[in-house]
Amino acid sequence: MITRAKSHIRFDWAVKKILRSKANFGILEGFLSELFLEDVKIKSLLSEEGNKETEDDKSNRVDILIENSKGEIIIVEIQNTREIDYLFRVLYGTSKAITEYMKEGSPYAMVKKIITISVVYFNFGQGKDYLYKGETKFEGINQHDIFELSDEQRALFSKETVSDIFPFHYLIRVNQFDDVAKNTIDEWIYFFKNSEIPDNFSAKGLAEAREKLKTIKMSAKQMADYSRYLERLSSDASIAQTMIFDAVYKEKYELAIQMIIENEPDEKIFRYSKLPVSLIEKLRKELNEQ
């Protein structure tokens, strides 16, 4: 985690504490506009039941639910702590939003379009890129054509394609970003990763973020809260690293014991387990004494 002094506030903390104000909607609108490649206007922020505010909040989860001027629901989630089932949580959050913002008794055509944006600070899944998007399409098994809406459906639902009906997902894998901003959305991802906004960056919303999210503009209370937040991130990162180390060490330990039982020589056990020879000799002695 980034803990040293930075000129700007981390985006995840800013979302939780600062960007909920209507006066700062321009920052979020800028980010969303660059990501969607179209101008986005925020109509309102929706309630966020899952967003914890307590000091013992160890989930490091920051959710913000937005309804834009087109009536679409946008879920922005920032996740610092590794979760192997993270994609399932995205699916659950999407389904929950669909049902919560569907009026009882309304026709299915009133289901709101859901867009999820996951800004993730840990490695999960496999892929070379740092920015992914996903949508639903139906491809013919035999003809390999794409199933489309009829003209009547387009007129009735005000949708152009089938994918316009289903949820749309963005995954931003911050740690995979190489710090080279090749376009304006890259400038935002650079900010997510480094908490810095270079003077030459011109993406929508960043000029406002550059001014409003400076750490020197924080009150004493905000600075204290922010410092505690950074400490929690560092603590959680250390715990996660320790858990990974313990799991790997346990696997090596069990391998060495099995090879000792099979009477393999210490040199071979060392090559496969990478455990110190002194520890292998100790394990062998303990097993012989049992």
Q: For strands 73-79 and 114-120, give the pairing.
A: parallel
Region of residue 238 (left: phi > 0; alpha: psi -120 to 50; beta: else): alpha
pLDDT number for residue 186: 98
Given a contact cutoff of 8 angstroms between Cβ atoms, the answer to whether 69 and 25 are in contact is no
Return d(Cα 39, Cα 59) in angstroms, integer. 32
Give burial (CB, 10 Å; 0-12/13-18/19+) of 251: exposed
- Closest to 225 (Cα-Cα) out of 13, 78, 59: 13
Residue by residue, pLDDT tens for the chain (290 residues) are 334 457 888 998 888 888 888 999 999 999 999 999 999 999 988 865 444 444 444 444 547 899 999 999 999 999 887 788 899 999 999 999 999 888 777 888 889 999 999 999 988 888 999 999 999 999 999 999 999 999 999 999 999 999 999 999 999 999 999 999 999 999 999 999 999 999 999 999 999 999 999 887 777 888 888 888 888 777 666 666 666 666 777 888 888 888 988 999 998 988 888 888 888 888 888 888 77
Q: Residue 178 and residue 43: Cα distance in Å, rounded?
A: 34
Residue 165's pLDDT is 95
Task: Please choose, from the candidates 281, 253, 252, the residue with its C-alpha nearest in 3D space to the C-alpha of residue 266.
Answer: 281
Q: Is 18 in contact with 213 (CB distance < 8 Å)?
A: yes
